[in-house]
Amino acid sequence: MCGALSSRRNVSAPGSPGFQPELDCYVQLLREDGVSHNFSASDLSGFYAAELDTAFLRPGVFFQLQVVTSDGKEYHSDFDKISPVPAIDSVYYKVESMKYWGKDDPVPGIRFYADFTYDDEAYDYIRWELTETYEFHNPDMEAYIHVNWWTVRPLEKEENPQVCYLTHELPAVHSLSTKEIGFGSFSKPFDFVPNDQMEQKLHHKYSLLVRQYSLGPEGYKYWHELGSNHQERGQIFDMQPSLLNSNICNIADENEKVLGFFTMSSMQETRAFAEEIPGFDTSPLPNYCMPVDRGPGSNQPTNYPSYFARASYEGTSVYAEVNKHCVDCREYKNSTAVKPDFW
């Protein structure tokens, strides 16, 4: 198995948070019997990884995270045990609808569900991580780049991908105490995915990767409170977000506030797909990203480089400036033109 950890210090101002990676750390995972494995810096700044085999990662055994920073500060976590997790029996979707504020009619969409069987009291607590991937299409247009005042050239095919694949980790926190359910089959519902013309999530092909983790009681409390803090608020009598307690501390300064939580988990994962959903309108959004003639001078760039497209409206050709993402869908966040292996 491959383990990965991230390390950072919270040195950003509250009004402008940001990732500040902690480099050159010594990172160790210690087993309760004294056997340990070191983590090495990965290609991602501030992340550390190690290859850990099943002989080392034994269920029912306790582990502790130890980190020494480049300036000599040492942090230890509480010990946490690897608990078993039930297998995922299936992941599937159902067509549903949801009422949104400002819209007269319910919006159609889908909701994924994960089924598992609760047949072992050792499955105390469970949480889920969800990652979506979907296919996105830009309109088919002639595309050009104005490199500078005197250089204009058409965008080559590799510079003008019209089909991309967007991947996002869904922010909602899903957790469950098995004390809330009885033995037998259980279905866990996840987030509603609307059929939105702008997003195109359900227009071509949509995939959801479901990872199901085991948790201990303290880990469940942390993730449950984190999920409560992420719920939409805004009412005057809403409870204030709780201050999440970390199980990691500076061994020389117990008053230092440390963010994050260390857990050891078993994990099961399954990927599901949705495409060609009957009854859904998957027509493209009219005039999405199409060039618009805004009068004299609108066919000249306002800065460099600028991106232009040519399209026809009822027999009239229009050449005008567009946003870069309209001619290169890789500009969208977490987007690539390379088809995923699982597609």
Number of residues assigned to the chain: 343
Return left, alpha or beta for 234; rule: phi > 0 is left, psi -120 to 50 is alpha, else beta: left
Q: What is the pLDDT along the chain (343 residues), one digit of tens a residue?
A: 334 454 444 444 445 556 788 899 999 999 999 999 999 999 989 999 999 999 999 888 999 999 999 999 999 999 999 999 999 999 999 999 999 888 888 999 999 999 999 999 889 999 999 999 999 999 999 999 999 989 999 999 899 999 999 999 999 999 999 998 999 999 999 999 999 999 999 999 999 999 999 999 999 998 888 877 665 444 444 444 456 789 999 999 989 988 889 999 999 999 999 999 999 999 988 889 999 888 887 778 889 999 999 998 878 899 999 999 999 999 999 999 999 999 9
Residue 143 tokens read as: 């595309």
Query: Taking Cα atoms as reference points, which of 263, 287, 276, 281 lies closest to residue 93?
Result: 276
The DSSP-derived string for 72-135 is S-EEEEPPEE----PPEEEEEEEEEEE--TT-SSPEEEEEEEEEEEE--TT--EEEEEEEEEEE
> Of 1.25.10, 3.40.50, 2.60.40, 1.10.3470, which CATH number belongs to 1-82+230-262?
2.60.40
- Under DSSP, the state recorded for 236 is T
DSSP, collapsed to helix, strand or coil, labels residue 33 as coil
pTM of the predicted model as reported, rounded to 2 decimal places: 0.85
Per the structure block, which two tokens stand in for 104? 């007269």
Strands (E), 195-315: 206-215, 248-250, 267-274, 306-313
Contact 77, 35 (CB under 8 A): no
- Residue 303 has what DSSP assignment? S
> Cβ(157)–Cβ(165) under 8 Å?
no
The whole-angstrom distance between residue 10's C-alpha and the CA centroid of its chain comes to 21
Parse the chain into domains and list their residue ranges. Answer: 1-82+230-262
3-state helix, strand, coil in the chain (%, to 5): 10, 40, 50
Q: Which residue spans within 155-282 are E strands per DSSP?
A: 163-169, 174-177, 184-194, 206-215, 248-250, 267-274
